[in-house]
Amino acid sequence: MRQSWLERMRDAIADRGRELLKLEPGSRTAHDPLALCRQLLSGHGEASAVALSRAILQLYQGFDAAQRENFFDMLLDEFGPDAAAIEAATARYVGSSDTDDFLALLNLVEPPRQELFRRLNMAPHGTASLVAMRADLLAMQRERPAYRAIDADLKHLLSSWFNRGFLQLRAIDWNSPAQVLEKLIGYEAVHEIRDWDDLHRRLMEDRRCFAFFHPAMPDEPLIFVEVALVNGMAEYVRPLLDTQTPVLDPATADTAMFYSINNTQTGLRGISFGNFLIKQVLTELRAEFPGLKRFATLSPMPRFAATLRVALAGEGRGLSTPLVDALLAPYAETLCAAAGSDQVRQALASLLDGEPASHASVLAEPLKLLALAYVSATRTDGGLIDPVATFHLSNGAQLECINPFADLSEHGMSASFGVMVNYRYAPEQVEQNHESFVGTGNIATARPLAKLYRRLEEIRVALNDD
Amino acid sequence: MRQSWLERMRDAIADRGRELLKLEPGSRTAHDPLALCRQLLSGHGEASAVALSRAILQLYQGFDAAQRENFFDMLLDEFGPDAAAIEAATARYVGSSDTDDFLALLNLVEPPRQELFRRLNMAPHGTASLVAMRADLLAMQRERPAYRAIDADLKHLLSSWFNRGFLQLRAIDWNSPAQVLEKLIGYEAVHEIRDWDDLHRRLMEDRRCFAFFHPAMPDEPLIFVEVALVNGMAEYVRPLLDTQTPVLDPATADTAMFYSINNTQTGLRGISFGNFLIKQVLTELRAEFPGLKRFATLSPMPRFAATLRVALAGEGRGLSTPLVDALLAPYAETLCAAAGSDQVRQALASLLDGEPASHASVLAEPLKLLALAYVSATRTDGGLIDPVATFHLSNGAQLECINPFADLSEHGMSASFGVMVNYRYAPEQVEQNHESFVGTGNIATARPLAKLYRRLEEIRVALNDD
Amino acid sequence: MRQSWLERMRDAIADRGRELLKLEPGSRTAHDPLALCRQLLSGHGEASAVALSRAILQLYQGFDAAQRENFFDMLLDEFGPDAAAIEAATARYVGSSDTDDFLALLNLVEPPRQELFRRLNMAPHGTASLVAMRADLLAMQRERPAYRAIDADLKHLLSSWFNRGFLQLRAIDWNSPAQVLEKLIGYEAVHEIRDWDDLHRRLMEDRRCFAFFHPAMPDEPLIFVEVALVNGMAEYVRPLLDTQTPVLDPATADTAMFYSINNTQTGLRGISFGNFLIKQVLTELRAEFPGLKRFATLSPMPRFAATLRVALAGEGRGLSTPLVDALLAPYAETLCAAAGSDQVRQALASLLDGEPASHASVLAEPLKLLALAYVSATRTDGGLIDPVATFHLSNGAQLECINPFADLSEHGMSASFGVMVNYRYAPEQVEQNHESFVGTGNIATARPLAKLYRRLEEIRVALNDD
Amino acid sequence: MRQSWLERMRDAIADRGRELLKLEPGSRTAHDPLALCRQLLSGHGEASAVALSRAILQLYQGFDAAQRENFFDMLLDEFGPDAAAIEAATARYVGSSDTDDFLALLNLVEPPRQELFRRLNMAPHGTASLVAMRADLLAMQRERPAYRAIDADLKHLLSSWFNRGFLQLRAIDWNSPAQVLEKLIGYEAVHEIRDWDDLHRRLMEDRRCFAFFHPAMPDEPLIFVEVALVNGMAEYVRPLLDTQTPVLDPATADTAMFYSINNTQTGLRGISFGNFLIKQVLTELRAEFPGLKRFATLSPMPRFAATLRVALAGEGRGLSTPLVDALLAPYAETLCAAAGSDQVRQALASLLDGEPASHASVLAEPLKLLALAYVSATRTDGGLIDPVATFHLSNGAQLECINPFADLSEHGMSASFGVMVNYRYAPEQVEQNHESFVGTGNIATARPLAKLYRRLEEIRVALNDD
């Protein structure tokens, strides 16, 4: 209640300013974003900065698509850099190497709209509004590549404001405000939360949920991770999600499964928290449950099915068709027999197009091998094609296990033929794995996978496929 | 207690990282700031950013003056801009006007140390450490003007991070943590808080204290204002400070006196919160006490005595000697009579050097006039010479009253011969006063002062003194 | 999280005690409630009181119905009063009138089980366990009237512990813990909360929900009231419950409708909070919304249909058959015409048994009159037969309005043929209404009802029906 | 701030009631406590119970000593038990053994003033007011022994309300509200807290302070214990109290010294929390610092000096003169030599009356022996004469060490010639020690003291002194 009182205060301040500014709905200035933005940036605007910034953001929130485009065009044209001035300032600085000349240049290169964004942040809910504005901008950017210049300013600011040092970790449980819990339901994109009962099960004693919050958006989890405390590495997703799964005494668990990680804010795309979140959660879990011996994910491969289909169709990139052919060769007989086809790629495709799970015995091994090939497949620039693998491996996890038929849900089947991956965070190896992956692209693998991975790498070398 | 638990967690994370980094006290890297900073900025540092940033800040905290100078020199030399690269990038951008070329330039012009500071902020208490580092830097800057380049980066970041939108207003009272209250005692610089009893009186029912806090420094009031709820405009400071003053029922007060405003962080110099604080506090007070009719300060003139002495010595600047002479002319007779001198400037000086309060009847009028001249005196660049007047008038206050012998304390006497000023915040005029002061330098004055002020301005015009 | 930590501590203390007591699951004492209770009451038990009380309550929680009966029998036989000792002590006191003799008697008359209950309260969650134990006891009391002696002790203690001075009012909204909100869903018995969306609507800006909590049961609302802020007195319940009803700006509302009040704890039966809750909520609403002019309920008549049926069947008590006949007489023609019957009671019954709402025009007036007769009908002991009317009228409300067809839900129809009642709390009349109702049984009625009520009273007098 | 808002609400409710009751300061009823109390107890009072109870308590607070006496006399005369009715009810119950007859008797024996007190508790701050009222009552009781009957009712209620199950343990540190910290300064009676700096040192990292609070008196610590985390058993009090003592890293401490325990509320005399506090604090400390191996007090002997003086004067009771003589016999020579006297009791007295510490070598042994005799000395009813020993030994502590010259402060010297005692809480022996002390009066002693204690007991037996 106190909060809402403070918010009312803040609104009152903004309202008062609005009044002083004669920003009545009917007035001309009130509807001229350019005039308002100029005033906000001018010295005169200082005394009413809160009111002005609020007026601009409210105006923006009422805009339709065309008006937003006008607004962004204005930011581009009116509040962008001054090339001529920059040229002159550079010349002066390069000539003099003088501190003041450099500061003058620095000042000129930063486009005025960056300061404009900073001032807009003063409005009530300013930060949330700017994050939302960036989401709009990103959506429009495909058609208007020049907007990347605006985005560069917004992203620069948001990166600075959402610095790890400002994020607050909070445990979320059944005692958390419904306000926040409701958002988990809305944001969960990996394994849909069906209803409040489903959510409740995910917050019981043998589950944990942690999120980062920013002080300026206190009700918005920015990223959250759902953890199941279990015995033994979880290979199947169903028991983790089933509301009927009996609740385990968490003190007896030996493994923490990170079974869902969600970034919630489109407007913070490219500003990464996941790394920090996993590490801090890991530290907290170890402190709370000294009995935990294993920390791992059960992760999806969102584009495995699509990528494999392309490869089977003879046009594989990243996961190349020749590699797929080579990997499938040993299974040709069984696959073709099961599919009643005599072409191995076709056979696999037809088995997968049916109900892959019903061919488990035939498909398990080749699927595992192909999935391994997929998660380790690289793009031409050297990065991995799979974003989830990239995320965990660059965070220092190791590839622990590949589980065919781990997710038999409709979505799991259509995205990855049901295959899921365990990435394991072994605290004492995280740093070394990270260094090795970032430095040389080397993927740490658990012993049981190592032999398979070596065979795969040999085939790749033989095919000159890398 | 929860907080300290979270803090322990965060420390544990940093410790773990430190271990992984082999940052044992004995190791070589652990003591090489350059190596540590380079690692922190490199991609490899990402996984251990928290540990690295903590290690660097701890190292810094142990530095003596010479080591700090080395550290800042390193920031200057190793993490500064690359002039040649900037020159080339400017040329490319000016030639192409291309977005990517501009972004490349933008990227180059921001010195790498700015990103370094951003990463240092990830450490536990990183923000507070950077604020403290800037305080060190400002102290050294006088002797090392080149450090202004480093300061520009730090100030730029801190301005962005201490944006009004991130500050939290909190009321401070006798229920606040001793942790915070203790800081008020330490930080109060206008009217010293003598002990906890003095503090307690300032937090009773007819007093209010508000401060801005930043979420990353939750125990540190950044700026605070002390308010007394009284009846009628307070002209004397003693009743506001006396612990024996009877406590008024605040619901019966008609006036809120802002009798002390303190910025607490040297490291945030030049980043201004006062304007926002006063306005928000004003709004809160109006909401809590609808009976309040007047909001005003009782403000010091810290350099009035010094400035006046110079003028009396015949070397006045800002407050010019001819103006002082002209203002004193009508009082020549009484002043000389009282002082037993025949030279009016000398007479005034000797009266002031004695015990001015004992000549109240003789000195009151001339002191008032001189004080008015002082607060409205300008520098060659057009700004006022008095920083307190500048602050309140540019915030939209009006000059309400000048009170000779308002502060008879030793400090009040030596700083301003006891004279204090009321600036009044009339909500409905704030905006207009601000516009008028910022635009044309016009000082809004209350009716009783207006005639005096007009006379003063006429004399100034006659003397061509402006 | 802190709380759960404290709870863990408290559990740890109890565990430690249990260990010291050798209360291992296997030991004999651990399963002998009589031995445990004796030890808890003895001086020796003091050092391990927390552990003992916990052991007893845990034992109790595992009991089946027969074991519970044994337990209560034990309380009756072993920890009841000592008649002979009481007799002797009374004689001594009556003889001496001495303070000490009285104190000795006082001490003897209070059965030892009362002190036993007090000590059981020391266990973690002791208070909640005792409340639950009383709920069990009340259920068994019908068959075992002697248990009333045990209940007298428990009720005496709980009345003292749940004293108004210890209850805490909390506003419940969408920011409240899911833990608490879930309980509202479970406890709401007047107008079922169908799901979380329904609950969410009831906690939006134009709704308020307040509950009393006890510090020893911090997650348990003991009683809660749901309030709708609307314009004009609400006569129909649907708009108050419909999740699609547009949200009103609460600052514009002129009426607060208390549309649902629920006691949640069977174990606190007979310990009344409703009176205090309504008054405090009323005060809070007036403070938050100065625009509110009317405070009223829209209340059910849970037994109206059943009572009326009995009366129509010729066996009315409280609401007597002759009175019903007299009231229906003027409507005989229209009722019989609509029902195609020639006996007025039968006609009414058949209309009501069909779909009463479809005969609205015919039924509205007689239903209103009968409902008025029902809410004002008395039992032989002088009290009203309707508990809801008793509650509000004795709290000082006045009978404001009777609304036929106010609740067309299945439940509303079957309980009261859809009729609901507005009781209005006019702050300035509450006290007088209360005095008058408690003193003379007089029912305050709003002007529009007054004439009808007078007519009713005249008929009653004529029939000698009171 | 919310709290004070709620409090204002509660006050508003009470005010409103007061208004309805026409309890204006001038009215007659407003000043007639008897009329007000009768109304509060009557059914009519229910609707305005909060206002009535507040009016009575405010009236009481304004009473002078004589008026208080009148008030208590009224409680005695008008709201006491009805002997005749009790006699009749007893007869009925004894005759019938009927439940209802017993309940009727139970109801009659509880004096009406007990229900009156329960209703007074509804007022804002009612609980605190009743605690204060009992403090008044206890003070008057010496002269008016009949008031014990009133006290029995108040104590009975307060015991029930301050049940362990309702108390909340809170850690107090430098982050606690000044409001609460100020009270520690006021309440500390064992080792005076000189000022806020002294308090601050007692709340640093190597110190802990815990208190029990009651939800109805949230700012009032009811009992608090101060703990120092040190290495090795503390034998001297100065290092624990000296603000200059270096702060120890608490994780390295092996011993927790409970060096000050204070009950704060006279009005709760005889309602004991200390036992529970020590045990819970012990559990918390073990959880927070697994390295702790020892938990002990450094306790005063407030009446040792006085008791010893009486014994030396030849009139010892509890600590008998013959026992003192027997104990001193072996030291006769050295004592007399040092004192220049030839009578051993006189010699000791004169050494103690000088500056005992300067005769440390001569006095240490005999003082230790006498102190041991003192703490184990019994009254005629079998209890120990020393209340501190009684408290810790009956809580299950063992007598660990007796330290001559442990407290050389003026107060320590005058109260106990500087001797202090360590009582040790060994978690695994607490229960057994308690049983043994409560059952047979046996005092558990640490091994080093055991031999001395046996010798003492032998002398006692020889002297037939017990």
Residue D225: its H or E element: strand D223-230
Query: Which of the four pLDDT bands, split at 50, 70 and 90, describes residue B28?
Result: low
Weakest mean pLDDT among B143-152, B167-176, D355-364: D355-364
Predicted confidence band at B6 (pLDDT cuts at 50, 70, 90)?
very low
CA neighbours closer than 13 Å in the CB half-sphere of residue A283: 20
Look up residue A246 and give its DSSP letter: P
Asked whether the beta carbons of residue D175 and residue B179 sit closer than 8 angstroms, the reply is yes
**Among A220-224, B18-22, B408-412, the least confident range:** B18-22
The CA distance from B13 to the nearest CA of chain D, in Å, is 18
Q: What is the pLDDT of residues D349-397, one digit of tens each?
A: 999 988 888 888 899 999 999 999 999 999 988 889 999 999 999 989 9
pLDDT tens for each residue of A429-447: 988 898 899 888 999 999 9
Nearest CA in chain B to A156: B107
**Nearest residue in chain D measured CA to CA from A5:** D2
What per-residue confidence (pLDDT) applies to D22?
A: 52
Question: pLDDT digits over C155-198, tens only?
Answer: 999 999 999 999 999 999 999 999 999 999 999 998 999 999 99
Q: How far apart are the C-alpha atoms of A171 and B2, rounded to whole Å?
A: 12
Is the pLDDT at D176 greater than 80? The verdict is yes
Is it true that A165-297 and A304-463 share their CATH fold? yes
Residue D316: pLDDT over 50: yes
Percent of chain A with pLDDT over 90: 79
Q: Please state the separation of Cα A465 from the chain's center in Å.
A: 30
Q: Taking a C-beta distance cutoff of 8 angstroms, is the pair C273, C222 a contact? A: yes
Q: Among partner residues D1, D171, D181, which is closest to B178 by beta-carbon distance?
A: D181
- Consecutive H or E run containing D229: strand D223-230
- Reported as a pLDDT band with limits 50, 70 and 90, residue D28 is low
Which residues in chain A are closer than 8 Å to D1, comparing Cβ atoms?
2, 5
Q: How far is CA D127 from CA D110, D117, D268, in A?
A: 20, 10, 11
Q: In this predicted structure, what is the pLDDT of residue A4?
A: 46
Fold of A5-161: Butyryl-CoA Dehydrogenase, subunit A; domain 3 (1.20.140)
Other beta carbons within 10 Å of B429: 16
C56-C57-C59 Cα angle (round to 5): 65
Chains that touch D (3 or more CB pairs under 8 A): A, B, C
pLDDT at D10 over 60: no
Give the closest residue to C196 by CA, choosing from C223, C214, C213, C176.
Answer: C176
Which H or E run contains D420?
Answer: strand D420-424
Residue C16 has pLDDT above 60, yes or no: no
What is the pLDDT at residue A9? 47
Contact yes or no for B196 and D196 at CB 8 A: yes
Distance in Å, alpha carbon of B255 to nearest chain C alpha carbon: 24
User: D258 pairs with which residues across the strands?
Assistant: D227, D297
Interval B352-371 mean pLDDT? 90
10 Å Cβ neighbour count for A270? 10
How do the domains of chain B map onto residue ranges? 5-161, 165-297, 304-463
Tell me the per-residue pLDDT of C341-387, one tens digit each, with 9 for 90 and over.
889 999 999 999 888 888 888 999 999 999 999 999 999 888 899 99
Cα(C190)–Cα(A79) distance, integer angstroms: 60
**pLDDT at residue A6, rounded to an integer:** 43
For residue D152, pLDDT beyond 90: yes
Contact state of B178 with D179 under an 8 Å Cβ cutoff: no
pLDDT surpassing 70 at residue B253: yes
- Region of poorest pLDDT, from B134-148, B348-362, D50-64: B348-362
Closest partner CB to D215 (pick from C43, C46, C215): C215
Check residue D438 and give its pLDDT: 85
Chain D nearest-CA residue for B170: D1
- B178 CB neighbours in chain D (<8 A) are 174-178, 181, 196, 200
Q: State the fold for domain B304-463.
A: Aminopeptidase (3.40.630)
Q: Minimum mean pLDDT among B352-366, C303-317, C362-376, D126-140: which range?
A: B352-366
Return the percentage of chain B with pLDDT > 70, whole number: 92
Phi, psi dihedral angles at A24 (to 5 degrees) = -60, 145
Q: Which chain C residues contact residue B1 at CB under 8 A?
A: 2
Q: How many H helices and E strands in chain D? A: 22, 7
pLDDT-derived band at D1, boundaries 50, 70, 90: very low
- State the pLDDT at residue A1: 35
Average pLDDT over residues B16-31: 54
Q: In this complex, do A438 and B46 lie within 8 Å of one another by their Cβ atoms? A: yes
pTM: 0.90
pLDDT for residue B3 = 42
ipTM of the shown complex: 0.88
Give the pLDDT mean for A393-407. 94
Answer whether residue B12 shows pLDDT above 60. Answer: no
pLDDT reading at A7 higher than 60: no
Structure confidence by residue, pLDDT tens digits, D228-259: 999 999 999 999 999 999 999 999 999 999 99
Straight-line distance from the first to the last Cα atom of chain C, in angstroms, rounded to the nearest whole number: 59
Residues composing chain D: 466
β partners of residue A213: A168
Those residues of chain B whose CB sits closer than 8 Å to some CB in chain C are 1-2, 5
Q: How far is C178 from chain A (nearest CA, A)?
A: 5
Lowest mean pLDDT among C24-28, C45-49, C339-343, D96-100: C24-28
Give pLDDT, residue A255. Answer: 97
Neighboring chain C residues of D121 at a CB cutoff of 8 Å: 163-166
Specify the higher pLDDT residue, A176 or B381: A176
Quick one: pLDDT band at residue A45, thresholds 50, 70, 90? low
**What are the φ and ψ backbone dihedral angles of C223, each rounded to 5 degrees?**
-155, 140
Q: Which residue of B has its CA nearest to D218?
A: B175
Instruction: Identify from C172, C174, C175, C199 which residue to disrupt to test chain A contact, counting A C-beta atoms within 10 A and taking the largest count.
Output: C175
pLDDT one-digit tens code per residue, D84-96: 999 999 999 999 9
Q: What is the CATH class of A165-297?
A: alpha beta
Say which amino acid occupies B81: P
Rounded to an integer, the average pLDDT of A309-313 is 94
Strand B168-171 relative to strand B207-213: parallel, antiparallel, unpaired? antiparallel
User: Per-residue b/e over B91-126, b at no fewer than 16 CB within 10 Å?
Assistant: eebbeeeebebbbbbbebbbbbbbbbbbbbbbbbbb
Burial label for A249, CB within 10 Å (0-12, 13-18, 19+), is exposed
pLDDT at D44: 65
